[in-house]
Amino acid sequence: MFNQKYKNHILIFSGSFIIRLIFFIALFVWITNFSAFTPEKQALFPALNSDSEGYLQIAQNIHQYGEFSESPELPLSPNSFRTPLYPGFVAGILALGLGKIGVIIIQILLASATSVLIYMLGIKFLSHKVAILAAILFAVEPYSIFVSSILLTETLFTFLLVLSIYLFTKDSTWKNELLLKGSAGITLGLATLTRPVSIFLIPLGFLIILLMKSREYKLKSVIIAIVFGLTAVLSLMPWMIRNNNVFGVYDLSSNGWNNVLFWNVSAHRSL
């Protein structure tokens, strides 16, 4: 009965996992045997670029010294450019003795779980066929397969964001809705601590709760919206307090608008 009820969930998860695992093994063999990477670069795999090397360095410093720093050697300087969740995620796996390969296996599991969440959201809002198609498209999408095989934030962020949307939209009773919206707020907060871009979804979610509820439940909707917003913001506060104590600024990252400027200013100047 269980297998029949969750047959599609299991197939989607298994298919996504197998595809990503095969790709990772192929990438590992290519990097270590046939690529033009230097032995030093090969040793860093699955850190393939400056961002992934930075995350790995911070994770190793957390694991070895308990310091959030990207410095490659002592003395360690505190870092404000990166947000904490992904380096902490990697450091936790390293602390368990699973190594860098263990990080990738867990990322592949998270990406496969994301495929299932997409399927479940599709069932709720669209149709069974569309849900299957959406899950398959995510499972075989080349970029998501690639980033799940290296040390980058995208896989963890996407899982947390989709999980937050799933919890946010799940139907429930009044008491359970408080729990679900609170869980959605915490999960969205964790996603924001992975990639700060999702911070804009916190006020959006707050407004959606207020606007979607009928007038007779206005007080309840206000309470639910407050629970959602408060749990999301409280999830961010420890890191913002840390940044204020260390750098004198209540902010998530010193990155600010750097990515927007880096990727867009040159394009505008060329017009």
- Tens digits of per-residue pLDDT, 207-241? 988 887 655 567 788 888 899 999 999 999 999 99
Alpha-carbon distance 19 to 16, whole Å?
5
pLDDT at 85: 94
Task: Give the chain's mean pLDDT.
Answer: 86
Alpha-carbon distance 117 to 251, whole Å?
31
Q: 176: pLDDT confidence band, cut at 50, 70 and 90?
A: confident
Alpha-carbon distance 258 to 271, whole Å?
20
Helix (H) or strand (E) run with residue 22 in it: helix 7-33
Cis peptide bond prior to 78, omega within 30° of 0? no
Most confident of 199-203, 242-246, 251-255: 199-203
Kindly state the average pLDDT of the residues 40-59.
83
Q: 174: pLDDT confidence band, cut at 50, 70 and 90?
A: low
Kindly state the average pLDDT of the residues 28-36.
81
CA separation (Å) from 220 to 87, 89, 172, 184, 250? Answer: 38, 36, 13, 17, 31
Alpha-carbon distance 181 to 174, whole Å?
11
pLDDT at 31: 86
- Position 43 pLDDT exceeds 80: no
Q: List the one residue out of 196, 208, 201 whose CA is nearest residue 260.
A: 196
